[in-house]
């Protein structure tokens, strides 16, 4: 389910393993996942492109360090074609439900258009950042101007010469701001919580690197490995206030000081929570754009939206032509709106009512032969998510090898319990539970989305023999 990075990786690896009997269901019209949906101006990835690609299909670029949305989407289309996946793809086919049948030991999958399919194994790869979240602000629906979410950009609406409100200053809001401010007459940027922002290294490679990448292509592999190691060894300790947290905060404060001269504006942009609690922004354009004469950073809370603009807590009304919601995604709902039922009719919604959890983020007792790619507690803010996806896909393939002639595989409750205990301890050592509010956790404060350790740790855990944690059932 899903034809983003996760689903395509799974499909390509199935092909590479000689398995051809699979279908990829995609609710939209093409592959790409979030990189198909997010087309806002400036959309790109702050993870270097060499690292932000599959190890079996490495991205090569001798010019640019960071990929833009268009390049990533083209890369995913290239993977789809190179691994001959189009024939397996069913587009416009959202999944409404997946029910495990006790009598057949198979899964009954229904699409939103009412089709029914039967499968032995179901793998969900729907991602965590695909359902836009619009804020619950009174009067939102009364606004008479143009409004849209960053993941549903209206390219038919010309922002030139308009007065625009941008609500939200996360990665998406920060990336698009300079592009909007360049054409709009005025931009009001509504910030609820400041983010830690660190500088982005130079976008273009220098002449020596270009020469090496062109003449000695293996150096691109070295560069990829160095990026990976740097992220794991230097960035991942930040989340648990390890050795690099203070230096990272110092770098971020210096970046702010250098780019924002006005002390009042700087104060508004200074976070009061530990770095790493929210996703760190890697950005060079957000702060300078706030210095522009046509841009105002508004930090008074929004009390309501009127037909013509926005009213803040201090009572000020700012008229605007357009409101851009850079307000993030419904991250903790995972497989919603799908209805998934396992053995004995147990519902996934009920199992996850207090927050999603899964063994290594991939499997649950009572849900035989159901796997998740990018499931609970597997997303990263400090390294390439593609690495995590590959670990999961490799692990799922190892699970499938335990069923050479078919059959059912289910994670043992003890393995799930031990893993969850370890996970919660690891999370308790991070800054996430108490440091701030973020999309990493549920309304009740349970951290359900990010991985709380190094990616090397995850690699080690997913290299174990799944036979230690799973049992084979007879239907
Ligand atoms: P986000 O990080 O969840 O940011 C949402 C923003 O909207 C936050 O600033 C939030 O404020 C604000 N907001 C939400 N509700 C609000 C309200 N009612 N009033 C005022 N402000 C409100 O979403 P995102 O920027 O779309 O990014 C989501 C994730 O996508 C990122 O964290 C990152 O993992 C990924 N991403 C990655 C890249 C990349 O370059 N790799 C680029 C884009 C996105 P609070 O902070 O106070 O909640």
331-351: pLDDT as tens digits:
999 999 999 999 999 999 999
Report the pLDDT averaged over residues 55-79: 92
Taking the C-alpha atoms of residue 10 and residue 390, their distance in angstroms, rounded to an integer, is 8
For 230-279, the pLDDT digits (tens) are 999 999 999 999 999 999 999 999 999 999 999 999 999 999 999 999 99
Q: Count the neighbouring beta carbons within 10 Å of the beta carbon of residue 113.
A: 9
Determine the atom of ligand 1 nearest the C-alpha atom of 195: 46
CA of 171 to the centre of ligand 1 (A): 6
67 lines ligand 1 (CB under 6 A): no
Taking the C-alpha atoms of residue 238 and residue 45, their distance in angstroms, rounded to an integer, is 20
377 contacts 452 by C-beta, under 8 angstroms: yes
Q: Which CATH class is domain 140-325?
A: alpha beta
The pLDDT of residue 449: 98
The pLDDT of residue 475: 63
Taking the C-alpha atoms of residue 253 and residue 261, their distance in angstroms, rounded to an integer, is 12
Tokens 């959202």 locate to: 94
317 contacts 311 by C-beta, under 8 angstroms: yes
The closest alpha carbon to 384, from 67, 11, 14, 74, belongs to 67
45 contacts 53 by C-beta, under 8 angstroms: no
Could you please report the per-residue DSSP string of 222-244?
A: HHHHHHHHHIIIIIGGGGGT-TT
CA of 248 to the centre of ligand 1 (A): 20
Taking the C-alpha atoms of residue 202 and residue 64, their distance in angstroms, rounded to an integer, is 9
Is pLDDT above 90 for 152?
A: yes
439 lines ligand 1 (CB under 6 A): yes
DSSP state of 299: -
Is pLDDT above 90 for 474?
A: no
Is pLDDT above 90 for 280?
A: yes
Taking the C-alpha atoms of residue 80 and residue 74, their distance in angstroms, rounded to an integer, is 10
CATH 3.50.50.60 domain extents, the chain: 5-130+330-473, 140-325
450 lines ligand 1 (CB under 6 A): no
Query: Quick one: what percent of the chain has pLDDT higher than 70?
Result: 100
For 153-205, the pLDDT digits (tens) are 999 999 999 999 999 999 999 999 999 999 999 999 999 999 999 999 888 89
Statement: the pTM of the whole predicted model exceeds 0.85: yes
Determine the atom of ligand 1 nearest the C-alpha atom of 439: 3
Backbone angles phi, psi at 23, to 5 degrees: -125, 140
Report the pLDDT averaged over residues 361-388: 96
450 contacts 377 by C-beta, under 8 angstroms: yes
Residue 12 confidence class, pLDDT cut points 50, 70, 90: very high
Report the pLDDT averaged over residues 446-466: 97
Report the pLDDT averaged over residues 40-64: 92
CATH 3.50.50.60 fits domain 5-130+330-473: yes
45 lines ligand 1 (CB under 6 A): yes
469 contacts 415 by C-beta, under 8 angstroms: yes
Taking the C-alpha atoms of residue 330 and residue 128, their distance in angstroms, rounded to an integer, is 8
DSSP state of 202: P
Give the 3-state secondary structure of residue 179: helix
Q: Count the neighbouring beta carbons within 10 Å of the beta carbon of residue 184.
A: 22
277 lines ligand 1 (CB under 6 A): no
93 contacts 115 by C-beta, under 8 angstroms: yes
Is pLDDT above 70 for 114?
A: yes
Residue 437 confidence class, pLDDT cut points 50, 70, 90: very high
169 lines ligand 1 (CB under 6 A): yes
Strands 122-124 and 116-119: unpaired
The pLDDT of residue 59: 85
Report the pLDDT averaged over residues 123-150: 97
Is pLDDT above 70 for 300?
A: yes
The chain-wide mean pLDDT, for the chain, equals: 96
Is pLDDT above 90 for 404?
A: no
DSSP state of 280: P
Q: Count the neighbouring beta carbons within 10 Å of the beta carbon of residue 194.
A: 18
């Amino acid at each position: 389910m899903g034809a983003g990075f996760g689903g395509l990786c799974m499909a390509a690896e199935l092909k590479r393993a000689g398995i051809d009997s699979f279908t990829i269901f995609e609710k939209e019209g093409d592959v790409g996942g979030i990189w198909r949906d997010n087309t806002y101006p400036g959309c790109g990835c702050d993870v270097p492109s060499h690292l932000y690609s599959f190890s079996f299909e490495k991205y090569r670029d001798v010019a640019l360090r960071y990929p833009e949305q268009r390049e990533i989407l083209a890369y995913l289309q290239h993977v789809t074609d190179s691994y001959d996946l189009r024939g397996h793809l069913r587009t416009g086919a959202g999944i409404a439900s997946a029910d495990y049948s006790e009598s057949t030991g198979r899964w009954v999958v229904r699409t939103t258009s009412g089709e029914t399919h039967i499968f032995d194994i179901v793998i969900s790869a729907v991602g965590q950042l695909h359902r836009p979240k619009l804020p619950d602000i009174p009067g939102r629906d009364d606004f008479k101007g143009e409004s849209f979410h960053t993941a549903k950009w209206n390219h038919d609406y010309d922002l030139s010469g308009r007065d625009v409100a941008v609500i939200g200053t996360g990665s998406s809001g920060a990336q698009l701001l300079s592009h909007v401010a360049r054409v709009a007459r005025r931009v009001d940027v509504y910030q609820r919580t400041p983010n830690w922002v660190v500088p982005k290294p130079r976008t273009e490679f220098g002449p020596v690197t270009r020469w090496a990448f062109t003449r000695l292509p293996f150096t691109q592999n070295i560069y990829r490995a160095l990026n990976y190691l740097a992220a794991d060894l230097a960035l991942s300790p930040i989340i648990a206030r390890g050795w690099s947290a203070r230096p990272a905060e110092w770098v971020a404060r210096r970046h702010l000081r250098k780019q924002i001269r006005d002390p009042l504006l700087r104060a508004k942009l200074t976070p009061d929570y530990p770095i790493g609690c929210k996703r760190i922004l890697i950005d060079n354009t957000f702060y300078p754009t706030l210095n522009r004469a046509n841009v105002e950073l508004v930090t008074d809370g929004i009390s309501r939206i009127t037909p013509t603009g926005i009213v803040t807590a201090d009572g000020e009304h700012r008229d605007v032509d357009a409101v851009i919601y850079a307000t993030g995604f419904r991250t903790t709902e995972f497989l919603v709106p799908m209805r998934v039922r396992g053995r004995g009719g147990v519902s996934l919604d009920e199992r996850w009512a207090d927050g999603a959890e899964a063994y290594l983020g991939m499997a649950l007792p009572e849900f035989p032969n159901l796997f998740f790619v990018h499931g609970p507690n597997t997303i990263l803010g400090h390294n390439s998510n593609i690495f995590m996806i590959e670990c999961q896909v490799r692990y799922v393939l190892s699970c499938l090898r335990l069923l050479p002639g078919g059959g059912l595989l289910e994670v043992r409750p003890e393995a799930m319990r031990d893993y969850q205990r370890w996970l919660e301890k690891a999370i308790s050592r991070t800054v996430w539970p108490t440091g701030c509010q973020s999309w990493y956790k549920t309304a009740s404060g349970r951290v359900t989305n990010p991985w709380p350790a190094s990616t090397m740790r995850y690699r080690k855990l997913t290299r174990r023999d799944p036979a230690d944690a799973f049992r084979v059932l007879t239907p």
